[in-house]
Amino acid sequence: MRRENQSSVSEFLLLGLPIRPEQQAMFFALFLGMYLSTVLGNLLIILLIRLDSRLHTPMYFFLSHLAFTDVSFSSVTVPKMLMNMHAKYKSISYAGCISQTYFFIFCADLDSFLITSMAYDRYVAICHPLHYTIVMSQSICVMLVAGSWVIACACALLHTLLLAQLSFCADHTVPHFFCDLAALLKLSCSDTSLNQLVIFTAGLTAIMLPFLCIVVSYGHIGATILRVPSSKGICKALSTCGSHLSVVTLYYGAIIGLYFLPSSNNTNNKNLIASLMYTVVTPMLNPFIYSLRNKDMKGALRKLFCGRK
């Protein structure tokens, strides 16, 4: 293939989702509704946590940051995807593509770290309740969130800087609905071995290590719950973890389905579906999970809309 210097690449073409022309309007309305639900639902969570003093706890502090990250996560990819559904020429500028890659990786990693912080909060609350206020002090919570932002930013920046050094071949058509890093590397004419090594290393740091921490945390939580003599105590413990476990299952389920299950002949479609799960579906469902399964959130909703204490 003809080699082309990256400075001459002014844009990339996004193939988007494999949707038939007669179904474009239906899927446009579907994804627009899901995106609006994501934005409004997560902003409502942030508003409730800000207004209700009963929600000024470490768990909801992490949740407010997770809600903001989910809005950002969807906003990185969905608006451009919706625009391209009605565009004849589905292009994105070189700078726009690099920026989209950066913010996508940043939000994905930040989501992972925040979910892990929430799992640690539940571990301390259930396994060490007498030390909870000391261990999960305001300064510790701020440090956990700040550390999550810094590490996610560093990982995303490293990937983006390495990507910007690559040269791209004459064909710069991306078989995705956004500038996915793996898809962009396949278009490069340069040696991408360093990029692949960083993806593996950063993936361990930002995805696998947090996931293992969550598994260990819930392993300890499960052992503690089994030692509780009363069924009432077990139900109370499970109620505090149910919402978070649902979010963990949705988020990491999509990632495991994308990267760890055996590949089929329809790999690209599988990648698209998995990407839709953790960029569109999961951020939309999080507000419903936390509002429907959580007594505190339901109480805050009633207080906001009905004025009840």
Length of the chain: 309
User: pLDDT band for position 18 (50/70/90)?
Assistant: confident
Question: What DSSP state is assigned to residue 2?
Answer: -
Q: Would you tell me which CATH number, out of the four given (3.90.180.10, 3.40.640.10, 1.20.1070.10, 3.40.50.720), belongs to the domain 11-306? A: 1.20.1070.10
pLDDT digits (tens, 9 = 90+) for 127-177: 888 999 999 999 999 999 999 999 999 999 999 999 999 988 877 889 999
String of DSSP letters for 72-129? HHHHHHHHHHHHHHT-SS-EEEHHHHHHHHHHHHHHHHHHHHHHHHHHHHHHHHHH-G
Coil, helix or strand for 13? strand
Token pair 């989209």 in the structure block, residue: 100
- Lowest mean pLDDT, pick from 103-107, 191-195, 259-263, 282-286: 259-263
Q: For residue 3, list its beta bridge partners.
A: 169
